[in-house]
Amino acid sequence: MDTRRIGSLEVSVVGLGCNNFGRRLDSDATSAVVDAALDAGITFFDTADVYGGTKSEEYLARALGQRRDEVVVATKFGSAVDEQRKGARPEYVRQAVEDSLRRLGTDRIDLYQLHTPDPKVPIEDTLGALDELVREWKVREIGCSNFSAVQLHEAKEATRVGAARFVSVQNEYSLLHREPEGDVLPECERAGMAFTPYFPLANGLLTGKYRQGQDAPAGSRLHSGRGNRLLTDRNLTIVERLIEFSEGRGHTILELAFSWLLTRPTVASVIAGATSPEQARSNAAAASWELTDTELAEVDSIVTRPG
Q: Which residues are catalytic?
A: 51
pLDDT surpassing 90 at residue 17: yes
Residue range 119-142: average pLDDT? 98
Across the beta sheet with 72-77, the strand order is 194-195, 166-170, 139-145, 109-114, 72-77, 44-46, 14-17, 270-273
User: What is the predicted pLDDT for the residue at 209?
Assistant: 84
Q: Please, which pLDDT band fits residue 228 given cuts at 50, 70 and 90? A: low
Q: Please, which pLDDT band fits residue 210 given cuts at 50, 70 and 90? A: confident
Picking from 117, 114, 18, 144, the residue whose alpha carbon sits closest to that of residue 72 is 18
Q: Please, which pLDDT band fits residue 113 given cuts at 50, 70 and 90? A: very high
pTM for this one? 0.93
Residue range 143-155: average pLDDT? 98
Question: pLDDT tens across 64-77, in order?
Answer: 999 999 999 999 99
Domains and CATH numbers, the chain: 3-204+252-288 (3.20.20.100)
User: What is the predicted pLDDT for the residue at 208?
Assistant: 87
pLDDT surpassing 60 at residue 226: no
Mean pLDDT of the chain: 94
